[in-house]
Amino acid sequence: MITRRTALSLLASVALPTVTYAESPFFAADVKMGNIAPLAERLPRSPRVIDLPAMGRTTGRLGGSVRMLISGQRDVRLIPIYGYSRLVGYDAGLQLVSDILESFEAVDGRVFTLHLREGHRWSDGSPFTAEDFRYCWDDMMNNADLYRGGPPVDLIANGKVVEFSVIDPVTVRYTFASPMPDFLPKLASPLPLILYVPQAYMKQFHAKYQTPEKLAELIEQNRVDDWQGLHAKMGRSIRPENPSLPTLEAWRPRTAPPAEQFVFERNAYFHRVDQTGQQLPYFDRIILDVASADIIPAKTATGESDLQAGGISFPDYTLMKQAEKQHPLKVSLWRRTQGSSVSLFPNLNCKDPVWRKLFQDVRMRRALSVAINRHELNKVNFFGLGRESADTVLPESQLYRPEYASAWAQYDPDLANALLDELGLTERGGGNIRILPDGRQAGIVVETAGESSLETDVLELIVDHMRDVGIALYIRASQRDIFRSRAMGGEVQMSVWAGLDNGVPTADMAPDQLAPTHSDQLQWPVWGSWYMSAETAGEAPDLPAALQLVSLLKQWRNTTTTVARAEIWAQMLTLWADQVFSIGTVNSAPQPIVRAARMRNVPEDALYGFTPTSFLGAYMPDTFYYARE
Site residues (vs another protein, CB under 8 A): 294-295, 297-298, 301, 315-319, 321-322, 376, 379-380, 383-385, 450, 453, 456-457, 460-461, 464, 475-479, 482
- Using the minimum distance from each CB to another protein, give the nearer residue, 90 or 483: 483
Calculate the alpha carbon distances from 175 to 58, 96, 134 in Å: 41, 20, 14
Our CA angle for 358, 364, 369, nearest 5°, is 145
Q: In this complex, which beta carbon is closest to another protein, that of residue 339 or of residue 386? A: 386
CB of 585 to another protein, least distance (A): 15
Residue 617: name the closest of 78, 5, 212, 106 by CA.
78
CA angle 376, 379, 381 (to 5 degrees): 100
Give the residues across from 447 on adjacent strands: 476, 495
Closest to another protein by CB, 376 vs 578, is: 376
Q: At closest approach, how far in Å is the CB of 447 from another protein?
A: 9
Give 232 or 319: the residue with its C-beta nearer to another protein. 319
Pick 273 or 487: Cβ nearer another protein? 487
Output the smallest distance, CB 489 to another protein, in A.
12
Query: At 380, which helix (H) or strand (E)?
Result: helix 374-382
Which residue's CB is nearer to another protein, number 20 or number 302? 302
Q: Determine contact, residues 311/297, Cβ cutoff 8 Å.
A: yes
Taking alpha carbons only, the member of 361, 330, 310, 358 closest to residue 603 is 330
Nearer of residues 265 and 316 to another protein, judged by Cβ: 316
Task: Give the integer Cα–Cα distance in Å for 269 and 499.
Answer: 40
Say how far apart CA 226 and CA 223 lie, in whole Å. Answer: 9
Q: Which is nearer to another protein, 295 or 354 (CB)?
A: 295
Least distance from C-beta 464 to another protein, angstroms? 8
Peptide bond into 612 cis (omega under 30): yes
Phi-psi region of 223 (alpha: psi -120 to 50; beta: other; left: phi over 0): left
Query: CB-based contacts of 17: which residues, under 8 Å, 6+ apart?
Result: none
**Distance of closest approach, residue 440 Cβ to another protein, in angstroms:** 17
The rounded Cα 232 to chain-centroid distance in angstroms is 22
Cβ-based nearer residue to another protein, 470 or 612: 470
- Judged by beta carbon, residue 32 or residue 428, the one nearer another protein is 428
In DSSP notation, 33-44 reads TTSS--HHHHS-
CB of 330 to another protein, least distance (A): 13
Measured CA to CA, the distance from residue 394 to residue 336 in angstroms comes to 10
* Residue 615 beta carbon to another protein: minimum distance, rounded to whole angstroms: 22
Q: What are phi and psi of 367, to 5 degrees?
A: -60, -45
Q: From the CB of 380, what's the least distance to another protein, in Å?
A: 5
Please state the closest distance from residue 281 (CB atom) to another protein, in A: 31
Question: Under 8 Å CB-to-CB from 481, ≥6 apart: which residues?
Answer: none
Q: Cα(first)–Cα(last) distance of the chain, in Å?
A: 41
Tell the smallest beta-carbon distance from residue 296 to another protein (Å).
Answer: 9
Nearer to another protein, 147 or 383 (CB): 383
Q: Are 63 and 284 in contact (CB under 8 A)?
A: yes
DSSP string, 123-174: TTS-B--HHHHHIIIIIIIT-TTT-TTSS-GGGEETTEE-EEEEEETTEEEE
How far apart are CB 322 and another protein at their closest, in Å? 6
User: How near is the Cβ of 570 to another protein at its closest, in Å?
Assistant: 36
Specify the residue, 28 or 295, whose C-beta has the smaller distance to another protein. 295
Q: Which residues of 43-72 are buried (b: 16+ CB within 10 A; e: fewer)?
A: bbeebbebebeebebebbebebebbbbbee
Q: Rounded CA gap, 368 and 355, in Å? A: 13
